[in-house]
Amino acid sequence: MADGDGQDSAPATAGRGPKTAVLGTALLLCVLVVVLQLSTPPSSHIASVLVAVPAVISFGFGPPVIIGSAVVAAGIRWLLLPAEPQRIGSVIGTTVVICVIAALSCFVVRRGERESVRLRKVVSVAETAQRAVLRPPPETLGHFRTAASYLAAAQYARIGGDLYAVADTEFGVRALIGDVRGKGLDAVSTASVVLGAFYEAAYEEETLGRLAGRLDTGLNRFLRDDEAFVTALLIQIAPDGRTKAYSCGHPPSLVLRDGTVRELPAGTGLPLGLRTLTSAPADAEGPDEPRSAGTLLRPGDTLLLYTDGIAETRNETGAFYPLADRLTAYQRAHSPPVDPQHLLTWLQKDAHDYSCADTYDDAALLALAWPPERPSRRAETRKKMPPGTA
């Protein structure tokens, strides 16, 4: 990625291949031509192979080296003339072809450099836009170490319609992950509206249901498409580990604990942007306080929020990516505690390797890992835990 003008002007050919291998191939080609030409009858056309030297050099170097290689190749061809004095016309023809191929190679390389510079600038703008829309979460938030990642399905893309956010509020740590229906800049604009509403309302609304209502209200003020909506999952984790979840048509979060993976129960509501289709109040709380043991997080647990770009990835046979099984395998292969950033990097790569070329969608991930307590504090914590909790 280009950070400034200095980097923009860097030759695009630098990454085309190992320069040593390219130079060695061209040199070997020249040596072979000389040896074979001197050891075969004058009627052979081995020396004509020298026209390939500038093309070979173009795979690793820019125009100055390409021109230099053309001069060397042409010089070698003329040095071989005494071995076949009657073929001066062939020597002239080979020299002309070498010059033409060198000129074409320079043109192609220069055009590639310009395209590479333009692409780096576009990617730089996209990454800047992503940082403006999707704020990187702090490394620590409350009890948790946090990490987030976003991988667009399109090559070179950096932004899309998936979104995530975290905030440390008086109600506890609150997290959001969502997926905008649609693609392109319209999806990015919709995502920015939802994120802006979350960062405002997360500090004010007492319940997740009311928070979802605020997000829905803010989104409906922005949307112009009656069919547009956003699936979202809201999480609230109190300082004692009590966790609530509210799903607006979004896949549930997963709790990684002691080598196992379980879904975090959640209340349910309509996707954001569609609440006006029901007569229920926009701030209806809903059943977002399930009483199962899975709603109490504890030190050593990791909470994973994800979009369907991960869960709906398919392989060549059409089978969906086995997210829970792969997370279980990850825990068995890596000793605790879970490093949230390493987990997300591994998961993105694992899902991408599993997928077919056309089945990997935009994927956002958000992980909150509660580091295990030191042994000296563990006994004290257990005394404070509510009776009957897991």
Residue-wise pLDDT for 248-298, tens only, equals 999 999 999 999 999 999 998 999 988 666 555 544 444 444 444 447 899
Mean local confidence (pLDDT), 165-170? 94
Whether residue 42 has a cis bond before it, omega within 30° of 0: no
Contacting residues for 102 by C-beta, under 8 A, at least 6 apart: 54, 66, 67, 69, 70
Q: How confident is the model at residue 2 (pLDDT cuts 50, 70, 90)?
A: very low
Cα–Cα distance, 158 to 62 (Å, whole number):
29
Place of tokens 């991930």: 365
Place of tokens 């995530």: 164
| Domains in the chain, CATH or no CATH each | 5-127 (no CATH), 134-384 (3.60.40.10)
Mean local confidence (pLDDT), 220-248? 88
> Which tokens hold the place of 304?
């994973």
pLDDT of residue 154: 52
Percentage of the chain with pLDDT > 90?
Answer: 38
Cα–Cα distance, 339 to 342 (Å, whole number):
5
DSSP secondary structure letters along 105-148: HHHHHHHHHHHHHHHHHHHHHHHHHHHHHSPPPPSEETTEEEEE
Q: Which of 37-51, 90-104, 309-323, 338-352 has the lowest mean pLDDT?
A: 37-51
Cα–Cα distance, 366 to 163 (Å, whole number):
10
Which residue would you say has higher pLDDT here, 36 or 140? 140
Cα–Cα distance, 18 to 28 (Å, whole number):
16
pLDDT of residue 380: 52
Q: How confident is the model at residue 42 (pLDDT cuts 50, 70, 90)?
A: low
Cα–Cα distance, 96 to 54 (Å, whole number):
13
Q: How confident is the model at residue 226 (pLDDT cuts 50, 70, 90)?
A: low
pLDDT of residue 273: 87
pLDDT at residue 60 above 80? Answer: yes
Q: How confident is the model at residue 43 (pLDDT cuts 50, 70, 90)?
A: low
pLDDT of residue 131: 64
Place of tokens 């992950």: 177
Burial (CB count <10 Å: 0-12, 13-18, 19+), residue 308: middle
Cα–Cα distance, 351 to 360 (Å, whole number):
8
DSSP secondary structure letters along 234-266: EEEE-TTSBEEEEEEB-PPPEEEETTEEEEPP-
Phi/psi of residue 150, nearest 5 degrees:
-140, 130
DSSP 321: P
- Percent helix, strand and coil across the chain, each to the nearest 5: 50, 20, 35
Beta strands 267-269 and 243-248: pairing type?
parallel
Residue-wise pLDDT for 301-360, tens only, equals 999 999 988 888 888 888 899 999 999 999 999 988 999 999 999 998 898 888 876 555
Residue-wise pLDDT for 174-195, tens only, equals 999 999 887 666 777 888 889 9
Percentage of the chain with pLDDT > 70?
Answer: 77
Query: Residue 384, CB half-sphere, CA atoms under 13 Å: how many?
Result: 10
Across the chain, mean pLDDT equals 81
pLDDT at residue 169 above 50? Answer: yes
Mean local confidence (pLDDT), 93-102? 91
pLDDT of residue 309: 83
Cα–Cα distance, 158 to 150 (Å, whole number):
8
Beta strands 172-180 and 230-237: pairing type?
antiparallel
pLDDT of residue 77: 85
Which residue would you say has higher pLDDT here, 5 or 258? 258
pLDDT of residue 84: 73
Q: How confident is the model at residue 300 (pLDDT cuts 50, 70, 90)?
A: very high
Mean local confidence (pLDDT), 72-84? 84
Closest of 90, 87, 79, 33 to residue 56, by C-alpha? 33
pLDDT of residue 366: 95
Residue-wise pLDDT for 106-134, tens only, equals 999 999 888 888 877 766 666 666 666 67
pLDDT of residue 167: 95
